[in-house]
Amino acid sequence: MATSRFVGYLESRKNIAGGFCGLAGLALTFTGVAGPYWPVVVAGLYGAGALIAPPERPALPDFPDPTAQLDELRGDFETLRGYLADVDLPPAAAGRLTELTELLTALLDPGWVTEVLAQDPEGMHALSRAVRQDIPEAVDTFVRTRWWTRLTPGAEPPERHLERQLTLLHEEAERLATVLREAEARRQESHTRYLEDRSN
């Protein structure tokens, strides 16, 4: 531990700045300016250099970039699709789920859409939440509730809740697609204005 701290100090900005100032003190000694007090001059200049050096900046945390996050989300989406393929849903709910997964597939397909999505942290969060939490929870809750409904005939069919949940999730995904489309439209308009300004 002490050795690593010592090595760290040797490589630090303070030591490097102090070393340069100490070399300047040696130069003053060789030119005769420092006189008999040259050790004090060299040590003083080294200390001054170490004091004025900027502090060490801690390294930034190495978070995954948005592209890596999207790759991970695509993998989770494939896992989700495998789970959904094994669940028996009523036709209406199955249709809504198909519409939703098709839209999510389009949003997650590699290409310019995901390039725009990668620049939208809120959109990434919404998509991640839908894939990793909302859809699996909606389907799993339906499966469990359907089992209990068999024991209590006459209760509200759980597929109504599932259909409503899937509809809401589809609307949320459509809003995200609209935001991404509008972002590209604004980018196109900005480029048009730039070209118009340049030609004037």
Residue 38 lies in a domain: yes
Over residues 87-114, mean pLDDT: 89
pLDDT score, position 77: 94
CA 120 → CA 86, 100, 123, distances in Å? 32, 20, 5
Residue 57 lies in a domain: no
What b-and-e string marks burial along 139-150, b requiring 16 or more CB atoms within 10 Å of the CB?
Answer: beebeebbeebe
Give the count of domains, the chain.
2
Percent with pLDDT over 90 in the chain: 30
- Looking at the predicted structure, is the pLDDT value of residue 101 above 60? yes
pLDDT in tens, 7-33: 566 567 776 777 777 777 777 677 776
Half-sphere exposure of 105 (CA within 13 A, CB side): 10
CA 78 → CA 95, 101, 116, distances in Å? 19, 10, 21
Length of the chain equals 200
Residue 59 lies in a domain: no
In whole angstroms, give the CA distance from residue 38 to residue 126. Answer: 67
CA 104 → CA 63, 127, 132, 161, distances in Å? 25, 8, 12, 21
Tell me, yes or no, whether 163 and 130 share the same domain: yes
Confidence of residue 121 (pLDDT cuts 50, 70, 90): confident
Q: What is the mean pLDDT of the chain?
A: 82
Range of the domain at 97: 66-199
Tell me, yes or no, whether 89 and 182 share the same domain: yes
pLDDT in tens, 55-83: 666 776 776 676 778 889 999 999 999 99
Query: Can you read off the two tokens belonging to residue 175?
Result: 């809003």
Highest mean pLDDT of the ranges 61-75, 130-144, 153-167: 130-144
Tell me, yes or no, whether 163 and 189 share the same domain: yes
Tell me, yes or no, whether 72 and 134 share the same domain: yes
Confidence of residue 167 (pLDDT cuts 50, 70, 90): very high
pLDDT score, position 155: 67
Residue 21 lies in a domain: yes
Tell me, yes or no, whether 74 and 33 share the same domain: no
Over residues 116-143, mean pLDDT: 90
pLDDT score, position 6: 58
- Looking at the predicted structure, is the pLDDT value of residue 90 above 70? yes
- Looking at the predicted structure, is the pLDDT value of residue 1 above 60? no
Residues 6+ apart with CB under 8 A from 122: none
Tell me, yes or no, whether 8 and 70 share the same domain: no
Tell me, yes or no, whether 83 and 145 share the same domain: yes
Tell me, yes or no, whether 43 and 107 share the same domain: no
pLDDT score, position 82: 94
pLDDT score, position 61: 73
Residue 58 lies in a domain: no
Least confident of 84-88, 115-119, 152-156, 191-195: 152-156
Tell me, yes or no, whether 177 and 128 share the same domain: yes
